[in-house]
Structure 1
């Protein structure tokens, strides 16, 4: 199949079938950012932007409401916006920021910003909190639920089967078994989808139920505001009266004593009135750092379930289903190509799909393996150079037929401890991570534990032929 060249810098919008190709360029960029950023960040900083695109696509001017937002967007997102626009267009694109009311350009070129925004502190977060979403209203109560995230739209596989089953049980009979339900796993594995599905199912059965989905950072913000405004009665009336509380990423409560105290009080109040609580985290309860012990014990008092990285077949199904929901068809061979190269989580998988579809629309090309290679060239290039600890854990777990969750659990039988030590050894050999960083990624273990594993496996590799062969296979698999 003949591939058309990317548009040159001398191109004009007339060269494209879409008369609004300039806006299409920004829209494609915004769609990719929506997949990369947490919803709250995207809605606050990116969604309100208006873009003015030069006729030759060489410059994109983003109009911002005020100087505070302008400086923040330039510092935190400017580099990524530039990179995505260049990736979509095929040539460098100058990004300018201007105040919308005056249209006075105050920054001419946005250089890449290598560092992510620092996590907001408990005392400062309120000033940067996103406005509450108007979506997800039930009986006049703002639920913050995304109606598109249901059990029907969640692809089931061995990676999430137990968590999905527990979540469906909670949705069908809240306030009874599995209270609280604690779901943990790595970034982008579908935890948020699952908790939204619980809320949407309960409201389908009981439209009058008071359901609230919230990210832990928003809870922190609400606590800060209630202290500042002395509105704790309103705060308690809101949270203590719920029938179902769905809260994402409770690890963000770390080191926030006031927030933990208020969440403990809300937790006790809800359980006393037979309301249900569903939480998510990036690690199991006892692996949470800087969370009060009494709160951890509450988290662990119900049912704790893990979501694993999706297996190949599940990744293919996710891609095909998600493409259809976007109004596009993805050939099965393309889905297999993407699924084989994007293994870590669902969020990255969906981000890759969005990038392919945006690249396809902007360049007026059919979705094919060759187009997927072009659209994902940066991702594939980085993947060829880097091996992640998460990928090592998944590969070793698959090889020795254990669960990925066992890599960061406290279980110590030889059938689990041995593969875990091998994974730690490979993480030290194949990544640039320090011993403390590796320990943190293996359930918060001390660096001395990692050092012991590295030395032990390294010594045994010299003596045991079978172990050396196994390590060789694992290394070749990881290096692709």
Structure 2
């Protein structure tokens, strides 16, 4: 349930669905949760502009959407997530409905989408209303960049050092080496930040450069509109004339044949005029599913570089820097405590920091380990309940098709020893167990054996793409 939320089941009270302050607080609390769960551009494009009407008894929330296309998209892509967030905030299931907004309300929703688009660089134009029949696709703005996302505000560590170095090279000499630059990694690791940093740096050096940051979903929508309105001349003028194209989450092109064809054409046109392309994805090029081979080969022709989950020291630095940006001094021991318990990605780290700062502020307390532990009690409870060494052993054994008993045995064939080392590595990364405790749970092995496995797998993860992907799948499975 949402901390400090007045909307507990006992707090139900009559109110106008459209004007209830309590209903508005419920929706704003839901938005706050969704903002932490979704990539910024998706949240600003699809969720933030929605208008909510909350029933008198809080049994139902109706979301008003500007047009049918957006209604279908929000229902299919985000309906379940919105319903879950409402339940988490309220403490009980709430029926969720989506409806087309009345004409005036739809105009207000569209206006909200345009406002959301301007500072954040997302594509309100992705879902142009049907009433715009005959309109050509809008020319992309000059950048859509977030000016706060620069190289200076990106904390460097071993997890992102190579990607950062390559991105800085591209910003300094676009169109030269590393074209295209393909950055891949899990959710919330800083791929989008790095992409914005490239664009901001290039515009600082060359204010007249034509730079456009977009999400892959927008490119899909622009292709759809160009087909509907027979406006490919305008489409090509918009995209083929850029000096730098920054495109996020290209895995969204999967199974979209016409989109892939048009992106291939844009890709070739930009390379021919020595413009630069920077892309991000959740996997390396050859790991993309349902993307045409000729596109994959183009993606792989430049430089592909991974961003890993941040190591402990980097997580601590991120927390201290983010707290300073909020005007708060976070003691180092508190930063270490939070960093040790939030390991997955930068977005979750920032979410944990906001919880700690808010808890301390609302309760008038100094930031301390005790305050952090109380603020994050739900997160710590879930983490401790879900991820155990035993769960890791079972998950790894299932993945590599060996017996769980092999984790404790003295057998040493590679088909068993390798998964065992991977399980030891994950046990050290995902639990609070010490090396001796982990060794004991792996058949009474010495802590030096565990340390060797942790160092070996950790080093190979940085070098072997296939191993890194396997570990990523295992980590996401364990954290699900």
Same fold flag (TM > 0.5): yes
Q: For residue 134 of structure 1, what is the aligned residue in structure 2? A: 118
Name the counterpart of 2:44: 43
How far apart in 1 are the matches of 2:160 and 2:191?
9
Residue 263 (structure 1) shift:
0.7
2:224 counterpart residue number: 224
Alpha-carbon displacement from aligned partner over 1:224-279 (angstroms, at most 9, x marks no partner)? 11111111111111110000000111111112111111111100000000100011
State the shift of 1:47 in Å.
2.4
Query: Could you say which residue in structure 2 is the equivalent of 1:430?
Result: 394
State the distance in 1 between where 2:408 and 2:337 align.
37
> Quick check: 1:210 aligned with 2:210?
yes
SS at match of 1:463: coil
Q: Using a 3 Å threshold, how does the CA distance of structure 1 residues 84 and 224 change in structure 2: closer, same or farther?
A: same
CA distance in 2: counterparts of 1:479 and 1:378, whole angstroms: 16
Measured after TM superposition, the shift of residue 286 of structure 1 is 1.5
Distance 1:467 1:325, change over 3 A: same
Distance (Å, rounded) in 2 between the aligned partners of 1:459 and 1:98: 50
Paired residues for 1:304-453 under 5 Å: 304-387=304-387, 429-431=393-395, 438=399, 450-451=400-401
Paired with 2:98 and 2:143, the residues of 1 have a C-alpha distance of 35
Answer with 457-466 or 314-323: which moved more: 457-466
Residue in 1 aligned with 2:80?
Answer: 76
Query: What SS is found at the alignment partner of 1:242?
Result: coil
* 1:373 shift after superposition: 2.4
Would the aligned equivalents of 1:52 and 1:60 in 2 still touch at CA under 8 Å?
Answer: no
* 8 A contact 1:181–1:304 mirrored in 2: yes
SS in 2 for 1:135: helix
Q: Which residue of 2 aligns with 1:462?
A: 410
Structure 1 CA distance for aligned equivalents of residues 408 and 95 of structure 2 = 54
Residue aligned with 1:462, SS:
coil
Q: TM-score, normalised by structure 2?
A: 0.67
- Residue in 2 that maps onto 1:168: 168
TM-score (norm 1): 0.67
Residues in 2 aligned to 1:51 and 1:362: alpha-carbon distance in whole angstroms: 27
Change (3 A) 1:330 1:82: farther
CA distance in 1, matches of 2:101, 2:355: 32
For residue 354 of structure 1, give the secondary structure of its aligned residue in structure 2: helix
- Measured on the aligned residues, the alpha-carbon RMSD in Å equals 4.2
Deviations 1:167-198 (A, max 9, x none): 01110110111111111111111111000000
Bigger share in helix: 2
2 CA distance for matches of 1:336 and 1:230?
A: 56
Whether the 8 Å CA contact 2:253–2:291 is kept in 1: the answer is yes
Per the TM alignment, residue 70 of structure 1 is displaced from its structure 2 partner at its CA by 8.4
Distance 2:397 2:289 in 1: 19
Q: Give the conservation status (yes or no) of the 8 Å contact 2:360–2:367.
A: yes
Give me the whole-angstrom Cα distance separating, in 2, the residues matched to 1:357 and 1:52. Answer: 31
Instruction: Tell me which residue corresponds to 2:243.
Output: 243
Query: SS in structure 1 opposite 2:119?
Result: coil
CA distance in structure 2 between the partners assigned to 1:25 and 1:326 by the alignment: 25
Q: Is the alpha carbon distance of 1:164 and 1:381 closer, same or farther for their aligned partners in structure 2, counting shifts above 3 Å?
A: same
Report the Cα distance in structure 2 between the residues aligned to 1:259 and 1:224, rounded to whole angstroms: 8
Q: What is the CA distance between 1:6 and its match in structure 2?
A: 6.3
The aligned length equals: 383
Q: 1:330 Cα shift?
A: 2.5
Structure 1 residue 98: deviation in Å? Answer: 10
1:85 and 2:69 correspond: no
Map Cα deviations across residues 395-447 of structure 1 (whole Å, 9 max, x no partner).
xxxxxxxxxxxxxxxxxxxxxxxxxxxxxxx987333x996xx5xxxxxxxxx
Q: Quote the residue 2:177 is aligned against.
A: 177
Cα separation, partners in 2 of 1:275 and 1:457, compared to 1, 3 Å: farther
Return 61-70 or 323-332, whichever deviates more: 61-70
Aligned partners of 2:216 and 2:253 also within 8 Å: yes
Would you say the 8 A contact 2:393–2:404 is kept in 1?
Answer: no
Cα distance, 1:317 vs structure 2: 0.9
Separation of aligned partners in 2, 1:24 and 1:324: 28
Tell me if structure 1 keeps the 8 A contact 2:71–2:100.
Answer: no
Q: What is the CA-CA distance between 1:148 and the residue it aligns to? A: 0.9
Q: Which residue of 2 aligns with 1:30?
A: 31
Q: Deviations over 1:356-388 (max 9, x none)?
A: 334444455443323322332222222112249
In structure 1, distance between residues paired with 2:364 and 2:407 = 56
Instruction: Go from structure 1 to structure 2 and tell me whether the alpha carbon gap of 1:434 and 1:232 turns closer, same or farther (over 3 Å shift).
Output: farther
For 1:101-180, list aligned pairs within 5 A. Answer: 133-135=117-119, 141-180=141-180
Unaligned runs of at least 5 residues, structure 1: 12-19, 103-126, 393-425, 439-449
**Partners of 1:32 and 1:351 within 8 A in 2:** no
Distance 2:140 2:423 in 1: 60
TM-aligned CA deviation for residue 324 of structure 1 = 2.2
Distance 2:366 2:59 in 1: 26
Q: Secondary structure at the match of 1:372?
A: helix
Gaps of 5+ in 2: 12-20, 103-109, 122-138, 433-480
